[in-house]
Amino acid sequence: MAQPGKREATGRHAFLVAAGILLSKVFGLVRQGFFSYYFGVESDAGDAFTAAFKIPNFLQTLFGEGVLSASFIPVYARLLSQGDEEESGRVAGAVGAILALVTSVIVLLGVIATPYMIDAIAPGYHGPKRELTIHLVRILFPGAGLLALSAWCLGVLNSHRKFFLSYSASVVWNIAMIATLAWFGGRQSLSPIDLSSLAVKLAWGSVAGSALVFGVQLPYVLKLVRRLRLNLDTRAANVREVVRNFVPVFFSRGVVQVSAYVDTLFATELGTGAMNGLFTAQNIYMLPVSLFGMAVSAAELPAMSSALGDEAEVQAYLRRRLDSGLRQIAFFIVPSAMAFLALGDVIAATLFQRGRFSRADSEYVWGILAGSAVGLLASTLGRLYSSTYYALRDTRTPLRFATVRVALTTVLGYLCAIRLPPLIGIAPAWGVAGLTSSAGVAGWVEFTLLRRTLNRRIGNTGLPAALVVKLWSAAAVAAAAGWAVKFGIGIESPRLDGLAILAAYGLTYFGVSYILGVEECARAVRRLMRR
């Protein structure tokens, strides 16, 4: 039970979340490396799989980790802190049963309505490309449903402060897809027809991996929740609170999902390779978001939700936790954003440049990453602000601001992705960079609204200006060091040369941060020295 006067140490929890995410993301990048090797960027089969992968993914987004974390964990964690094992088991069982029922219905409807969804979301796909996308979506829908159910396991495990398993479980999903690509990809000549066949096999591999993700978590959930009772009882007060909190977060995620589908719609109109390039860049972009923004936010939510005391004590407690978390996130996200801007081609080449993925593809992904860097800091800091609202049992305020962000993203995305390229005389495919940069601008608007409103409620929070200047200064010096190495050795061997360039960048950033007296850097060095 977290008393406002006594801060629960979540550094280890954040480390475990980050470690689990890192392991998962490493395997995810390996999976994307295999995918890029066989499909490259400019392939119809690759575009079809990427679009198909995104469409049923709304199940995981709408019913997945973020939504359940916001609605289920605050209630369930409070019951655990009060020692009410019977009621916590009843609530966990009811939420799991309701989620399973709703997800099953949506999977069935999704499989039936797939052709209509393709017409609405990917109107730029025609003929065999459209038919392949429909076939892939119908295969992938049940797997997305299983991933949504695994988010219920994550909510239970996180509430019990079991973070590593829940965030590393997707490793088995990535392994299943890697194994599928390695086994079947090496046995085919990789003509366009063979690539379509490989995409279908990969979809089935994804479904098998989704089942494994759920399967590896379930035994631990059953062990932790000894009084688990599966039921559809929505009359219990705590279950009603979860459902009541779930609805605004559901619509908030739904609004965000609309933005993702708008991106898909625009990308399908920008020619072959645009959809695949966007997905490749997003795999890189999501690495720091997940490692640092998600890790800190996931570790802080149960701790914030368990705070007890009067209003002033809880507000002071939340301010301390929020400010500390913001500093942790910014220390890692600022250099990530600078790396995307200055060395995006090096990152893409190091990770993916082999097989069908060329140097030109690396430069294309760099442009998309540079656009993503615009809002990287805002989106990660915004996650922690949203978690603070959820800890306060307020799920409606983030919904309002998410709606504003999506509206801005849609308007700006259309202007920057569709209208701007022909006006300035560049290829339509580069409009994808307009999509990511416009989303970044909208992300800063959302972050500003979240911070301003929360500050009125609990008091002043945010990053000190001096810290921001130090972090960006260190990142700029590191970028100069990275460019110096890049010009000195070139990128003849993408992996080895890229690792040397990025190592110079990272070491310089840490060194300059330490010299400038950034406490987060000094703390990291002290921990490293102790170990």
**Per-residue model confidence (pLDDT) at position 452:** 95
**Per-residue model confidence (pLDDT) at position 237:** 83
Angle at 154 between CA 138 and CA 167, to 5 degrees: 90
User: Hey, which residues does 307 pair with through a beta bridge?
Assistant: 2
| Token code pair at residue 382 | 């915004």
- Exposed, middle or buried: residue 126 (CB in 10 Å: 0-12, 13-18, 19+)? exposed
Distant-in-sequence, close-in-space partners of 320: CB < 8 Å, separation ≥ 6: 7
Count of Cβ atoms closer than 10 Å to residue 201 Cβ: 16
Q: Phi and psi at residue 273, in whole multiples of 5°?
A: 100, -25
200 neighbors 136 (Cβ within 8 angstroms): yes
Instruction: Quote the DSSP letter at residue 307.
Output: B
Instruction: Quote the DSSP letter at residue 89.
Output: H
Dist. CA 451–CA 455, nearest whole Å? 6
**Per-residue model confidence (pLDDT) at position 66:** 59
3-class DSSP state of 2:
strand
**Per-residue model confidence (pLDDT) at position 5:** 44
Dist. CA 180–CA 206, nearest whole Å? 9
| Token code pair at residue 330 | 């910014």
Give average pLDDT by consecutive 10-residue segment, the chain, 531 residues: 47 67 81 84 82 75 63 78 79 85 88 85 80 91 86 82 78 92 73 78 93 90 81 79 75 64 78 81 84 75 69 84 90 94 92 83 91 92 88 83 88 89 87 89 94 93 93 96 88 82 94 91 76 59
| Token code pair at residue 398 | 């983030």
**Per-residue model confidence (pLDDT) at position 4:** 46
Residue 154: name the closest of 84, 68, 226 by CA: 68
